[in-house]
Amino acid sequence: MDDAIAACRILVVDDTDFNRTLIGALLGEAGFQNVVYAKDGFDALTQIAAEAPDLLILDIMMPGMDGFEVCRRLRADHAYADLPVLVQTALSSSDDRNRAFAAGTTDLISKPLDRTELVARVRIHLQNRVLIRDLQTYRARVEGELAMARSMYDHLLPSPSLCAALMDGAGVTLRSHTALSSDLGGDLWGVLPLAGGRFGLFLLDMAGRGVSAALNAFRMHTLIHELAPQLGERPGAFLSELNERAVCLLELGQHATVIYGVVDRAAERFTYAAAAAAPPVLVPPGNAALVFGEGAGPPVGVAAGTRYEERSLPFPPDSALVLHSTAVLETLNGRSGGFAALLRSAAVPDALAGGGDAAFAAVTAALAAAQGDVPLDDHTLVWIGRGGAR
């Protein structure tokens, strides 16, 4: 017999000395090493409260509190909801048996006791118990670890205080929307403060899903912050070097789509480089047409020696710059078309007249409606408004 099963604590509840001794002897002979006894219902509940057994063998006819009542009280307590209770009974009519099951009995053992039956039933219920306990422990551990990983992941994203400080220094407003899928995805964004009221901004989407994508996102986050002091000012060189490091670090089949750019309010420009990212969009002042940047480029981490081109978008006063993950495009079904249609749809221009907050809210609301309660992939949208109402 499995050690884990042999060591399970079995509580035998019977008011007859002879029965307790008999059951104990049969179980001991079969290899069960941890058998304890209670002489009636009250004694049983006291002992269970002191140390919960793994299985209960319960007599029905006992003075004071009978087996039915013991069973009912146990089942009323959440802690013992799944404790296996084997009722030993001479009750032969189906009414009585049903009554035992209604009270919460797991299984019946017929009286007079049959050695083989007793041992077989005890063993099978303990096996189930041990299996379920292993699964529960494992599941709780995985859930705990995922929750912890999720919380660590959340800490990688820019804190509200960092965004606030940046907004003061750079004279822009920064709003973001992140919706994580049920397993950990690989979306990440962040800001790198630069000299002269400028700042760097990156959006990154790691290929794949779950823990492996999250681990790789952490690696990329570290790389980005390592490169920031030397290359933060030069998006093309930044992405090219990030790619060289990522090629060494990531295994084949793992890569990231990235856009990195510098927001420069004084020069009224957004200078950026992109690696298979969704194109950045400029929402210009007034009713002028949207301006789309270019997101094409080999993903980061695939081929050494890739050079990323530097591109730029104007960023005049009273405009807004919108960066988003490719999942946003998938959700809105199509190329820039879906997203552009959303930005052009009546809600957004109307809302823009009322200020950046309203426009951002209109976009995220439309996005939330399109992606449903639990998005299939991570979604990130960063909205940088400058001047006046944006």
Partner 1 sequence: MDYGIEDKEQETLVRLRGRLTFNDHAKLRALIREMLQNKARRQVLDLSTLEFVDSAGIGMLLIAREEMANADKQLVLRSAAGQVKRVLTVAQLNKIVTIED
Shortest distance, position 208 Cβ to partner 1, whole Å: 4
For position 302 contacting partner 1 by CB under 8 A, the verdict is: yes
* Residues of span 259-278 touching partner 1 by CB under 8 A: 276-277
* Residues of span 205-224 touching partner 1 by CB under 8 A: 205-209
* Residues of span 151-210 touching partner 1 by CB under 8 A: 205-209
For position 75 contacting partner 1 by CB under 8 A, the verdict is: no
Q: Which is nearer to partner 1, 59 or 378 (CB)?
A: 378
Residue from 14, 54, 264, 377 binding partner 1 (CB under 8 A): 377
Residue from 151, 253, 286, 373 binding partner 1 (CB under 8 A): 253
Binding segment toward partner 1, per CB under 8 A, in 23-31, 299-307, 342-350, 379-387: 299-307
Cβ atoms within 10 Å of 221's Cβ, excluding its own: 17
For position 225 contacting partner 1 by CB under 8 A, the verdict is: no
Token duo for residue 162: 């960092």
For position 280 contacting partner 1 by CB under 8 A, the verdict is: no
For position 20 contacting partner 1 by CB under 8 A, the verdict is: no
Residue from 173, 243, 257, 331 binding partner 1 (CB under 8 A): 257
Q: Which is nearer to partner 1, 192 or 328 (CB)?
A: 328
Shortest distance, position 384 Cβ to partner 1, whole Å: 22
Asked if residue 383 lies in contact with residue 175, where contact means CB atoms within 8 angstroms, the answer is: yes
Angle at 262 between CA 257 and CA 264, to 5 degrees: 155
Partners of 261 in beta bridges:
201, 272
Residue from 173, 176, 240, 254 binding partner 1 (CB under 8 A): 254
Q: Which is nearer to partner 1, 112 or 305 (CB)?
A: 305
Name which of 123, 127, 82, 80 is nearest 106 in CA terms.
82
Is the preceding omega at residue 112 within 30 degrees of 0, hence cis? yes
Binding segment toward partner 1, per CB under 8 A, in 5-13, 54-62, 151-159, 296-304: 296-304
Residue 305-334 contact track with partner 1, rule CB under 8 A, x = bound: -x-------------------x---x----
For position 295 contacting partner 1 by CB under 8 A, the verdict is: yes
Q: Which is nearer to partner 1, 81 or 296 (CB)?
A: 296
For position 298 contacting partner 1 by CB under 8 A, the verdict is: yes
- Residues binding partner 1: what is the number (CB under 8 A)? 24
Using CB under 8 A, list all residues that contact partner 1. Answer: 205-209, 252-255, 257, 276-277, 295-299, 302-303, 306, 326, 330, 335, 377
